Amino acid sequence: MQGNQARGAGRGAARASVLDWLLRLLAGVALVLATASAYSAPKNLLVLGDSLSAEYGLQRGTGWTGLLQQRLQQDKSELRVVNASISGDTTIGGRNRLPALMAQHEPEILVIELGANDALRGLPLKTSQDNLQAMIDLARQQKAKVLLIGMQIPPNYGPDYTRRFAAMYQDLAKANKVALVPFFFEGIAADLSLFQADRIHPNEQAQPRLLDNVWPHLKPLLGKK
């Protein structure tokens, strides 16, 4: 009788030991899988823009966004550039597209390059500003850092509209404390040799300069969380 009890106790202890070992093994596997998933998940930088960022009239990969990916790799950054720019897009188009893009790519940084087509279409500045603000708000809700790219328009739109359009980006950046490229075409706008035949879209030679205008304002965001 006592022998049977001893053997039963031994088997119970063995089963408990095996169960404990299995639980430890499963916990270890789960940890390895979670770690592997964290390392394999890409870190994205989302560019939401119009034709100025969509490589309009350029060979694929030669636009400033393609050059940005190369610069990030040279800078040892793990960020992957997701270029969601569409030629002709406006701030309302970007605002409508952004929720799905944020859900799909979960970017660490959102670069907004929109507004020029709003001005070309004569849309109210208040509408453009509200749309840009909504995009900034959504990015912040999802813990993404924001870089706003500012534009200017020709003076033939009238001095008041021209001034208020440029100020719109500055006001948004200041109010939201987000990074700002003051003028995307700085050092480019007056040089027609840097534009395509339409005199609107920068050519391939201008793309490195556009990146140089963006980079000093983007780089401080790369090392911050």
- DSSP strand pairing (109-113 vs 179-181): unpaired
Please give the order of strands across the beta sheet that includes 43-49: 79-83, 43-49, 109-113, 145-149, 179-181
- Token duo for residue 34: 């979670």
Catalytic residue from among 37, 160, 193, 198: 198
Catalytic-residue membership of 201:
yes
**Closest by Cα among 197, 179, 178 to 57:** 197
CA 61 and chain centroid, separation = 17
- Selecting among 77, 87, 105, 201, the annotated active-site residue is 201
CB 196 within 8 A of CB 203: yes
| Identified catalytic residue from 50, 51, 85, 118 | 51
Instruction: Render 105-159 in DSSP notation, one character per residue.
Output: H--SEEEEE--HHHHHTT--HHHHHHHHHHHHHHHHHTT-EEEEEP----GGG-H
Task: Give the 3-state secondary structure percentages of the chain, helix then strand then coil, rounded to 5.
Answer: 60, 10, 30
Question: d(Cα 210, Cα 54) in Å, to the nearest integer?
Answer: 13
Question: Is 51 marked active-site?
Answer: yes
CB atoms within 10 A of CB 17: 10
Residues forming the active site = 51, 198, 201
